[in-house]
Amino acid sequence: MEHKQKTRTGVVLSRKMDKTAIVSVVRLTHHPLYNKVIKKAKKYKVHDENNACHPGDKVRIIECRPLSREKRWRLAEILLKGEVAEIQPQEIDVNLARPEAKVEAKEEAPKVEATSKEQGGAK
């Protein structure tokens, strides 16, 4: 008798450990009282033998025997390569914020005329 292994599909969040990836799996559930559809996310530590996946990739994971204290899943396949910009906050140039553009935007805003109450006029 063969047991069917559980499979999940999620997005890789982190690859900071060797042969381990953190994968976020999002599922939709109904709220028991309000019957509104809500998203619930769970993070899994996944064994990635070849360090093949990168942050932003959509992957399929399958359940396996315990590989470490928290790893119970392994990478089955990479479904879609994601492109995530790996820019550190220190690398962002201060000039990119363009404070002069904000000043121009404020000057172009339409001016609202004062109403009769603000001008002190009577009805």
pLDDT confidence band for 38 (50 / 70 / 90): very high
Helices (H), the chain: 99-108, 116-119
Rounded to whole angstroms, the Cα distance separating 86 from 84 reads: 6
For residue 97, the model assigns a pLDDT of 59
The structure's pTM equals 0.66
Judge whether residue 117 has pLDDT over 90: no
pLDDT confidence band for 31 (50 / 70 / 90): very high
Judge whether residue 42 has pLDDT over 70: yes
User: Average pLDDT for residues 58-72, to the nearest whole number?
Assistant: 96
**CATH topology assigned to domain 7-80:** OB fold (Dihydrolipoamide Acetyltransferase, E2P) (2.40.50)
Output the CA–CA distances (angstroms, integers) from residue 17 to 13, 28, 53, in the order listed. Answer: 12, 29, 12
Distance in Å from the first CA to the final CA of the chain: 88
User: Average pLDDT for residues 53-57, to the nearest whole number?
Assistant: 94
Residue 26, classed as helix, strand or coil, is strand
- Domain assignments of the chain as residue spans, ordered by start: 7-80
Percent of the chain past pLDDT 90, that is, above it, reads: 62
